[in-house]
Amino acid sequence: MSVCLQTKDLVKRYRDGELDVEVLRGVNLTVETGEFVSIRGVSGAGKSTLLNLLGALDTPDSGDIIVDGMSIREYQRRGELHIYRNAKTGLIFQNHYLMPDFSVIENVMMPLLIRGENGKKARIAAQEMLERVGLAHRTTHFPEQISGGESQRVAVARAMVHKPPLILADEPTGNLDSKNRGRFIDLLARLQGDYQLTVIVVTHEDDLANAARTQYLMAEGSLVQTP
Amino acid sequence: MRKIQFFIAWRYLKGKGSALLSMNARLSFIGVFTGATLLVIVLSIFNGFQRQLKMSIFEFDPHIRLSKDSMDAVAIKDWKIWKKKLYDELSSEVETIEGIIQSPAILRRKSTIEHVFLRAIELPLQNNSYYTFPEHFPKIVEPQGMNALPKGNSCLIGAEMAVNLGLRVGDTIELVVPRGQFSLQLGVTPSLRPFTVAGFFKTGHYQYDSRVVLLALDQAQNLFAIGDSVQQLAVRVKDTNRLREVRQKFLVHWPYSVRTLEEEQRNFFAALRLEKTIMTTIVFLFIISAMVGIIVATYNVVRSHRRDIGILKALGMSDTGILLIFTMTGFIMGSLGAVTGILTGIFVSLKLESIIGFLESSINTIGAWYAQTFQEGGIWFKVQLIPRDVYYFDHLPIHIDPAFLHTVAAVAILLSGMASLIPAWKASQMEPVKIIRGGGD
């Protein structure tokens, strides 16, 4: 197995009034291609901060992130962080964050269109992905017309439609009821297996964390692997 | 520019419903549309007035006057030779060169004495019995259809003068002018002769229509007793925009006084220039207000789509891509508003006379009905929205200048894009992590 992601001494500080708060204290993480990793931790432990750094939504104060052999700092130096976000990551948030002015299929097409993919091809790929998540009958609906569970499945389709090497999910079941949570975990596990995706999910929920083969615990800004 | 940016910008403007534009875009569109429509209507009327005024002057007055001295006191005896010579030299610039006499005079009618200007021009004589009118001749309003002036002591007077002095066609007036050449020993001897008013003319310029008496040149030569001389050579040029250049050419060939119409009517042309400056200021203010409208509208679009900006950035949209989306929203709003506003403005301007007529007749119909129903006596005085006698024209002068419209459209569209750059740039600089966390921008 090749290494998909590696972080080296990742440090992130936030300024809270007069105080500098060190949220991540030299995080080192190595994830192999096709691995399903969960990171557990209490609120404020720094899970989401780590995920935002991995998704290049935020920048570390020190340390480095290497995805598919290339440092995120290299992307930053070239002014190509947006290319990294589009080509290397697929993001799933706690709130589905679908764009309300666009239909379900248009939301799913978005990463491909941003990449410059032809509209027709993007629509076909989005349609296939929606079929995989069981929402082929909802393509023309708008986000406000579908349920929370369905919205989260659309978010999964959007994160995977462009086949990125790294799927990052931040508390994806946080807003779902137990029935939908179970469905979502099954779906994520199935797609991860089918596509051999590298998935990193941060959660404070045991059932989702336990679905992952490799599990970490984040406490006081550091990662500890759990058995 | 990528299709995706246009796709998103258009969706933000249109909204997801079946309506043509979202509420936000509709308000901005209405702002630009109304501004552009009013601008075209107001400036078309404004241009029309200016053009009519200019035309009335350029139609009636010589564009360049040549005389032996600036006071026109020296008669030009060999004017026919000069006329031919100058025309041969400058035929590329000149339309006509005519000998004229122009002088202040006194008009007497019974006990009424009026100070007038007498202008005598060359009129071709037909069958030795009547003069025909040349191409550039004022419109004859009374008697209608008149196209010749009887030979003899006949004259034409301005329509306003006829009204002011109570003159009718066929009336006799007396004209008193200085006779012959001025001499220091003898001073000026007056010459008096009766003339029959053969008709009324109208130039569209009140000053002329209330003050000028027109005569055939040979009649005026007799009246002034100056033989076959004239006071000036009146030049009509082919292109009135080149008056200064043509003047320079005449200075080479005519060694005496050369005066252009613009020099003689300095105040009038200065007033026109001032009007033009005001017009430009109005356009500028319109553009400023349209820009502010677009900035506000784009800010609203950005504010209501903050979360989308975060998502798009998280999905890999570049800062430039975000900048393009919101610049395009302003650009599309401005373009739609400007183009439809200008087209509507043109349509309304072309139909303005009918629209005003319709409004007038509606007001008068309702007013007459109201007066008959509710007022004692039931008299309704007809309303004229634009009283013809006050504004001194028989139709609403409208001039739609295509070059000006192109400029307005181009500037409005360009500035719409530029105005939306500021909020669009702010949007492009938003940090995705702050938006997704629900923090400030």
pLDDT tens for chain A, 227 residues: list them.
Answer: 688 899 999 999 988 788 888 889 999 999 999 999 999 988 888 898 999 999 999 999 999 999 999 999 999 999 999 999 999 999 998 888 999 999 999 999 999 999 999 999 999 999 999 998 899 999 999 999 999 889 999 999 999 999 999 999 998 888 888 888 888 898 888 888 888 889 999 998 888 899 898 999 998 888 888 87
B-chain residues within 8 Å CB-CB of A57? 313-314, 431-433, 436
Q: What pLDDT does A9 receive?
A: 92
pLDDT for the residue numbered B414: 85
How do residues A153-211 score in pLDDT, each as one tens digit?
A: 999 999 999 999 999 999 888 888 888 888 889 888 888 888 888 999 999 888 889 98
| pLDDT for the residue B440 | 40
pLDDT at B306 over 60: yes
Rounded Cα distance, B109 and B107, in Å: 7
pLDDT at B439: 46
Q: Which of B390, B389, B392, B398 is nearest to B356 (CA)?
A: B398
| 8 Å CB contact between A216 and A223 | yes
- Give CA separation, B66 vs B32, B97, B219, B222, in Å: 51, 10, 21, 22
Residue B441 pLDDT grade (very low, low, confident, very high; cuts 50, 70, 90) = very low
Which range among B26-40, B200-214, B304-318 has the greatest average pLDDT? B304-318
Q: Tell me what pLDDT residue B202 has.
A: 87
Q: Do A110 and B312 make contact, defined as CB atoms within 8 angstroms?
A: yes
CA-CA distance, A172 to A185, in Å (whole number)? Answer: 9
Q: For residue B20, name the pLDDT band (cuts at 50, 70, 90).
A: low
Q: What is the pLDDT of residues B319-332, one digit of tens each?
A: 999 999 999 988 88
Residue of B105, B76, B119 whose CA lies nearest to B216 = B119
Q: By the 8 A CB rule, do B324 and B12 touch?
A: no
ipTM over 0.90: yes
With the C-alpha atoms ordered A107, A111, A116, A119, is the resulting torsion angle positive or negative? negative
Assess B306–A contact: CB distance below 8 Å, yes or no. Answer: no
Which residue has tokens 């340390």?
A63
The number of residues making up chain B comes to 441
Length of chain A: 227
Pairing of strands B112-121, B187-202: unpaired
Coil/strand/helix, residue B383:
coil
Q: Is the pLDDT of residue B208 over 50?
A: yes
Number of C-beta neighbours around residue A204 at 10 A: 16
Task: Please choose, from the candidates B22, B405, B66, the residue with its C-alpha nearest in 3D space to the C-alpha of residue B246.
Answer: B66
**B187 pLDDT above the threshold of 70:** no
The SS3 of residue A79 is: coil
CA distance B58 to A124: 70
Query: Is B312 within 8 Å of chain A by CB?
Result: yes
Among A62, A47, A49, A74, CA closest to A9? A62
Using an 8 Å CB-CB cutoff, list residues of chain A that contact chain B: 52, 55, 57-58, 82-83, 85-87, 91, 93, 97, 99-103, 110-111, 113-116, 119, 142, 158
Q: What is the pLDDT of residue A85?
A: 95
Q: Please give the pLDDT value at position A174.
A: 83
* Distance between CA atoms of residues B350 and B357, nearest Å: 13
Give the nearest chain A residue to B2 (CA atoms).
Answer: A116
> Is the separation of the CB atoms in A92 and A168 below 8 Å?
yes
Alpha-carbon distance of A23 to A135, in angstroms, equals: 38
Beta bridge partners of A170: A202
C-beta of residue A43 within 8 angstroms of C-beta of residue A32: no
What does the pLDDT look like over B254-272, one tens digit per residue?
A: 888 899 998 888 888 888 8
pLDDT score for B184: 63
- Which of residues 319 through 338 in chain B touch A, CB cutoff 8 A? 319, 321
**Whether B23 contacts chain A with CB within 8 A:** no
Task: Give the C-alpha distances (Å, rounded to integers) separating B150 from A100, B130, B137, B144, B192.
Answer: 85, 4, 16, 15, 20
Q: How far apart are the first and last CA of chain A?
A: 20
Q: Which amino acid is at B85?
A: K
- Residues of chain A contacting residue B313, judged by C-beta atoms under 8 Å apart: 57, 82, 85
pTM value > 0.90: no
- The residue with greater pLDDT, B69 or B211, is B211
Across the interface, which of B11, B313, B436 has its CB nearest the CB of A102?
B11
User: Residue A12: its pLDDT value, please?
Assistant: 92
CA distance, residue A86 to nearest chain B CA (Å): 4
> Based on the number of CB atoms within 10 Å of its own CB, is A46 exposed (0-12), middle (13-18) or buried (19 or more)?
buried
- Tokens 């947006």 correspond to what residue? A82
Query: How far is it, in rounded angstroms, from Cα A149 to Cα A156?
Result: 11
With 0-12 / 13-18 / 19 or more C-beta atoms within 10 angstroms meaning exposed / middle / buried, residue A32 is middle
Q: How many CB atoms lie within 10 A of CB B397?
A: 19
- Rounded Cα distance between B133 and B143, Å, is 14
Can you state the angle between helices B352-374 and B319-350, rounded to 10 degrees?
Answer: 60
- Please report, for residues A80, A146, B18, B302, the alpha-carbon distance to residue A97 in angstroms, rounded to integers and kept in the order given: 23, 13, 24, 17
What b-and-e string marks burial along B81-102, b requiring 16 or more CB atoms within 10 Å of the CB?
Answer: ebbeebeeebeebbebbbbbbb
Task: Give chain B's end-to-end CA distance (angstroms, integer).
Answer: 26
Could you tell me the residue ranges of all domains in chain B? Answer: 2-53+270-437, 62-264
Which of A57-71, B114-128, B196-210, B406-420 shows the lowest mean pLDDT across its residues? B406-420
Asked if B310's CB is within 8 angstroms of A97's CB, the reply is: yes
Percent share of chain B, pLDDT over 70: 93
Contact B318 A82 (CB under 8 A): yes
Query: How confident is the model over B378-405, as a mean pLDDT?
Result: 76
**Residue B298 and residue B24: Cα distance in Å, rounded?**
9
Torsion sign across C-alpha atoms A199, A200, A202, A204: positive
Distance CA B425, CA B413 (A): 18
Residue B19 near chain A (CB below 8 Å): no
Q: State the Cα–Cα distance between residues A153 and A144, nearest whole angstrom.
A: 14
Mean pLDDT over each residue of chain B, to the nearest integer: 85
Facing A111 at nearest CB: one of B316, B321, B433: B316
Mean pLDDT score, B306-322: 93
List all residues 6 or more positions away from A12 whose beta carbon is below 8 Å from its beta carbon: A22, A23, A24, A46, A49, A50, A53, A58, A60, A61
Confidence of residue B304 (pLDDT cuts 50, 70, 90): confident
pLDDT tens per residue, range B417-437: 888 898 999 999 988 888 877
Checking phi first, is residue A34 left (phi over 0); if not, alpha (psi -120 to 50) or beta?
left
Residue whose tokens read 């301005």: B158
At B200, the pLDDT band (50, 70, 90 cuts) reads: very high
**Could you say which of A52, A100, A158 has the minimum Cβ distance to residue B433?**
A52
- Strands, DSSP E only, in A17-165? 19-32, 36-40, 62-67, 70-71, 89-92
Chain position carrying tokens 């006509």: B96
* B315 part of contact set with chain A, CB < 8 Å: yes
Residue B399 main-chain phi, psi, to 5 deg: -130, 115
Beta bridge partners of B173: B195
Would you tell me which residues 52-111 of chain B have a C-beta closer than 8 angstroms to some C-beta of chain A? Answer: none
User: Which chain A residue has its CA at the smallest distance from B321's CA?
Assistant: A114
CB contact under 8 A, A86 and B432: no
Query: Most confidently modeled of A103-117, B39-53, B112-126?
Result: A103-117
Which pLDDT score is estimated for A164?
Answer: 92
Q: What number is the average pLDDT over the span B288-306?
A: 83
Task: Give the β-pairing of B187-202 and B154-158.
Answer: parallel
pLDDT of residue A73: 92
pLDDT band at B396 (very low <50, low <70, confident <90, very high): confident
**B73 vs B69: CA distance, rounded Å:** 7
CA–CA gap between residue A211 and residue B15 (Å, rounded):
40
Nearest Cβ partner of A114 from B11, B310, B316?
B316
Tokens at B380, concatenated: 């309704």
Residue numbers in B near A58 (CB within 8 A): 431, 433
Q: Is A58 in Cβ contact with B433 (below 8 Å)?
A: yes
